[in-house]
Amino acid sequence: MGRKLIGIDLDSTTLNDAGQVSLMTQQMIKKAQQAGHVVAIITGRPVRLSMDIYHQLGLISPMVNFNGALGEIPNTPWEHAYSYKVDREIAFDLIENATDLAIKSIVAENRSEVWTNSVIAPKNSAEAFFFPQNEATTQMLNRLNLKKNINSILIEAQNETHQNVIQEYVTNRYGADRVMVKTWGASSPVLEIAPAGVAKDTGLQILQRAFNIDKADVYAFGDEMNDYEMIDYATHGVVMKNGNSQLKAIANDVTEYTNDEDGLAKYLAKII
């Protein structure tokens, strides 16, 4: 049996509904790693919201953040580390036009820093989690502070009806060949501006090449539409039982149990 590459999404996949890593999940991932397989977090989360889980899982592998835009081994030099960026001018442009575009708050972020024009978080706790509210660790988003390009820009619109306006504005002004504006789906007013052509499979493919793993041994686990490219690319694209039905339509397999029933750990137990 060849060495496997196992790409794991975090929210509603590796984490249970309480946002925690179960003991069974920790044990199975450690077992997979000890058996020589490469287990890598591939998440839409920024680094600051992933490091605790990375350590809890006892990982030594690279981690992919911002839906594929950043890949590195935390605090360790890695020759395959990469970072795809979004032009900081877009963030300034959005601030200047925030009133016309009905934008409430903007967050610009890279590996180790976060800038925002507002520390008032969205009301929905799942969205608020991504919008920093701690002024001590957050810099005000302005030209004085933000002097470099970033991996991601998050926008909270007044409501989802304004999303199309913002999407069109950014795409028309900066070009679909440079940026990609994605919505969070459901009834969320959050949008994300990412580098064009970058998705979770970007990280998965770089890891596959870096560790010289056969495509036949590539696994990816996810639950939502930001996992689409990764699930589609992997030879074993596995969607959680609790996952999006559109995503299940392209999956190679669906877990027997949900994320709240240790679905990932139980599936890994079968393949390791």
Domain ranges in the chain are 5-83+198-271, 88-195
Q: CB of 258 within 8 A of CB of 242? A: yes
Q: Across the beta sheet with 63-65, what order do the strands follow?
A: 63-65, 70-72, 82-83
What are the pLDDT digits (tens) for 110-165?
999 999 999 888 999 889 999 998 878 899 999 999 999 999 999 999 988 889 99
Q: Do domains 5-83+198-271 and 88-195 have the same CATH topology?
A: no
Q: State residue 36's pLDDT score.
A: 97
User: How far apart are the C-alpha atoms of 72 and 77, rounded to whole Å?
Assistant: 8
User: How far apart are the C-alpha atoms of 64 and 84, rounded to whole Å?
Assistant: 11
Q: State residue 131's pLDDT score.
A: 94
User: How far apart are the C-alpha atoms of 5 and 40, rounded to whole Å?
Assistant: 8
C-alpha closest to that of 265 among 30, 92, 72: 30
User: How far apart are the C-alpha atoms of 73 and 61, rounded to whole Å?
Assistant: 6
Amino acid identity at 169: Y
Contacts of 62-65 with CB under 8 Å at 24 or more apart are 62/203, 62/207, 62/210, 64/7, 64/40, 64/200, 64/202, 64/203, 64/204, 64/207, 65/111, 65/151
Report which DSSP code applies to 226.
G
User: How far apart are the C-alpha atoms of 103 and 56, rounded to whole Å?
Assistant: 36
- Match domain 88-195 to its CATH number in 3.30.1240.10, 2.60.40.2130, 3.90.230.10, 3.90.380.10: 3.30.1240.10
C-alpha closest to that of 195 among 68, 61, 44: 68
User: Residue 112: CB partners within 8 Å, gap ≥ 6?
Assistant: 47
- Alpha carbon 234 to chain centroid, angstroms: 17
Token pair 């001590």 in the structure block, residue: 136
Task: Give the pLDDT means over successive 10-residue stretches in the chain (272 positions).
Answer: 93 97 98 98 97 97 98 97 98 97 96 94 91 88 97 93 93 97 86 97 98 98 97 98 97 98 98 94
Q: Would the CA dihedral through 143, 84, 38, 130 be positive or negative?
A: positive
User: Residue 28: CB partners within 8 Å, gap ≥ 6?
Assistant: 264, 265, 268, 269, 272
Q: Which class in CATH covers the domain with range 5-83+198-271? A: alpha beta
Q: CB of 117 within 8 A of CB of 106? A: yes
Q: State residue 1's pLDDT score.
A: 64
User: How far apart are the C-alpha atoms of 244 and 8, rounded to whole Å?
Assistant: 16
Q: State residue 198's pLDDT score.
A: 97
User: How far apart are the C-alpha atoms of 272 and 268, rounded to whole Å?
Assistant: 6
Q: Would the CA dihedral through 8, 61, 23, 215 be positive or negative?
A: positive
pTM over 0.95: yes
